[in-house]
Chain A
Amino acid sequence: MAIFKKKEIAKNEFDQVIVGTSLTKEAWKRLKKNRLAVVGGVIVIIYAIIALCADLLPIYPYDEAITVHRNLRPSLTKTAGDLMLEQEMKNMFFQAWRQGRLELSDQEDAQIEAWVKASKTNDVWDLVYARGMEAIEDGSFEWNSSEQSRIDRMLNQIATETQITVNRVSVQYEGQTRNIEAMDYEELRDLYASLLGVETDVLEESLYNEVRSSVGNEVRANDSTLSGDDLEAAIDMEMNALGEAGIHDRASTNVIGYIEQLALRGANSDVQALIDSGSIELPYEGTFDLSNGLHVELEVSLMHQRRYICGTDYLGRDLLSRIIYGSQISIAIGIVGTVTSIFIGILVGALAGYLGGKVDYYLMRFVDIMYGLPYMLLVIICMAIFGRNIINLFFALALVSWLTIARMVRGQIMSLKNQEYVEAARSMGASTMHIIFRHMIPNSLSIIIVYSTIRIPAFIMQESFLSFLGLGVQAPYASWGSLIGDAVSSMALYPYKLIIPSIVMVVFLFSMNFFGDGLRDAFDPQSKNQL
């Protein structure tokens, strides 16, 4: 059990030290023999690494919305520009077919009519596009002038339009170069005031009002029936709940956004000049010193050269990046929820199981009552009362999820309580805490570990369920559940939006379950239902 084990070295052949194999070590050996569990474990680890390293991966920001790129299908080979053009052409081919300029066989006409009735838009598009391209090849179809000019305009757009991403804004502040994201509220406020050339009080006032109005919007979104004085009172209450620190936090986020926009605007002309002069090659990364004292690190790239492996969502955000950042949140919820529920569960279960009697009776009746409540409803009520953010989601899920663990630990402890080694410990005068922490918990740990690996998928499912209902993670953050929830409305038109996050989630849940099963078999060598 000791973490810092003294390393023992054999001094001579008479004084050998033989290291024993603990039960955990043996379980580990057995686990390694279970191939399915190992594969599951490896997949889980890969997921965890990808989620942890999301910031380092070469992916587009998960909250950067490029409106012209919305709803692009996933493609490994084509760039965003190609896909945009393809989509535009599909539309135009369809119109041409409607106008009778694109001629297809009667059978195909009937087929398209049938598809249109069944609103199988994708099939229609694919067919007209394929036939249209063939027709252009063999010269039986030509674009008319307005269509041609649309295509030319688009090609030009694709070749030239740039996307400027601000990576970092720093400023010379009191003699130091500071990243604005690392500055606190007062510094940011003073900086922004000096940048705009307004009084600090005026700015502070307007920042406060901004936060208040955004809080007001949230309040209205939660309860649309409020109005007049009631609404004002509700907003005041929310503002009080936020407190000064909370308000400053929100204001800081706003100010950082404004300064970035300011920097972007300032640098824009310089960048354009550089591009027009043709002296830089895209994509380009560079630093610009602006006249107002800001240093901006920028990345300039051709907007339509982007490749979306998993496509984009309805706002033109990269789905791959959203899935990766979503897995961050989903896995974090799985782990944090499990860890907190295990802590509470072990504590309650161990006390109830070991002390027994009245303590046990009342704790378990409390657990029974909690069990009796419909827990999803409880979570939903919690989220509705305390507001929809991730911390509250963690809290709400942990609140109801320790019950099973507490019962399980209690049962385990009760069976361990009458073991002779516990009696031995009691007969040598060990204290209750010593017995619980030295004997009981280590001996029930294997069951707890197994159970928690099975709990993680359950938590992810619950979070997904809540997010699917719109109660979980709020935009711009994503989780697997919210991605799937967003995709459902346009399921027929853009099935990839539903399928890709679902596959990602299902693979994770499968491997987690296989891993958990493997752990159970490894920790319990007596069970005979192994492969």
Chain B
Amino acid sequence: MKFQKTGYHGLYFPELGISLDGYHPKAAYTFVSHAHADHMPRNKSTRAYASKPTLELMKLRGFRGKENPIAFGEPVETDNCRITLYPAGHILGSAMIYIESDSGTLLYTGDYRTPPSPASEGFEAPDHADFLITEATFGLPIYRWKPYEELTFQIQSFAKESLEAGYTPIFLAYNLGKAQEVMHLVAPLDHPVMIHGAGYKLCSVYDNYGIELGNYSAYDRETCEGKILIAPSSALSNGFASNLRKTRVAYCSGWAANESRRTQLTVDKLIPISDHLDFFELIAFCKKLNPKKVYITHTPNPAVVQHYLDLENIDSAHLEMEAEPED
């Protein structure tokens, strides 16, 4: 199956007339895995096919092309192929894109997480694909995630203990996906939450699809004391909650697995909760899908993943994309 890069992070399939996660002038269909900036097409002429929540989130983040919602598991037939979305467990609306054509089957993962994020539609995958294009953001064996029960416990107890000691807890979490996941996990505490403006406007989509985000409002400097606060990591250096004297800060990201982040960000707690799958899940997934060839993207360490796929006798190649791994 032939494909080539298009734009900064998209793929174009000339024989099929489709593109994934990027605009191409000759593509009649552009399938979008999810609404993160490093996957979302920006061109106004894009005919985007994606899950409904993804399209709604894209719109809120400035997408102005044509929107064609499709449901998970319900195939779209084009002239040359059949496309099915599978829930990717990464963020709300995130999908893996499964292509069936005369030249074989291909699964494009976008970003994915298994076991899935509790603030997503879950995770489901086809049993087999001839080709797999997979992200490998955390493609090193130093990355193995703790089960959600434990991560939830860490997040909830950080919030509870900080509040009990008279501190305002701040969770540093990326605006789309991680922020809402953390809100979902602290919702059972039934304590008011305030979220940074950029993330706030995206929350309504989560509400609409029945993800419980608890009692939340937009961040307000004057009244934020004593609330559970949520902000992207860049916010702290821009004066977020800088009027509060007693705060405790937790950084929620897969990158929090690395101790060096502690001093780089000056935080009290590192909570390694990721919306990408870990290294061990990645290798297990490749084995299970048993493709003829795996293409690895979105990773600083393709050689390590390839080394492990070699050991499993799975053919692989590095597909270089220009993208910052955001988590």
Partners in one complex: no
Interface of B with A (CB < 8 Å)? none
- Chain A residues at the B interface, C-beta cutoff of 8 Å: none
